Structure 1
């Protein structure tokens, strides 16, 4: 569904071709300096709430943009039974306040991001 890379000073998330219909982009790049916090999520589907544009199969998958009632805009690519990360961004970097991503190696990626942010 997605591929995450850390290269130099940038976090890049590349989306699979079918998800691009819902994310409206093929990739998102975030300068590491724009990452405020990184949280491990056991249930990333539950973290995406509010109104949305994208794919929602209740309890199975969420892909697209979710905006909470408080105005927090999230780019979401989450699926059932895959742990994930909530990456909070400063200054609405690439147009989003947060990224909610299901990644099989979420704990390892969280450690890597925290290490490069320090």
Structure 2
């Protein structure tokens, strides 16, 4: 149950527990289909933001490995780790198209060794 704020097209873009004089005066019950749909949209936005952050957090690792290869020296990651990293990054990119999206318990899981890496 919430007071809602709508944009100029009538779409909900804000929820409030209390009435907000002048901009959130319309009350919707918790089982209102429009409110349920809004909750799903917000969850998808949140999960995409999580995905973007998770992807950005490992780009440096991929770039470092490629730079080390290009320089012809030894690499910090093994070939197997690099392959796992690329697969994880692809899983992150594919996450919004998966059937389980946006359920957080089905997020792609990073290989455990990634947590041990430091830029």
Is TM > 0.5 for Structure 1 vs Structure 2? no
Higher fraction of helix: 2
Q: Report the TM-score, using the length of structure 1 for normalisation.
A: 0.21
Higher fraction of strand: 1
Q: Return the structure number with greater relative CO, CA threshold 8 A, min gap 6.
A: 1
Q: Report the TM-score, using the length of structure 2 for normalisation.
A: 0.21
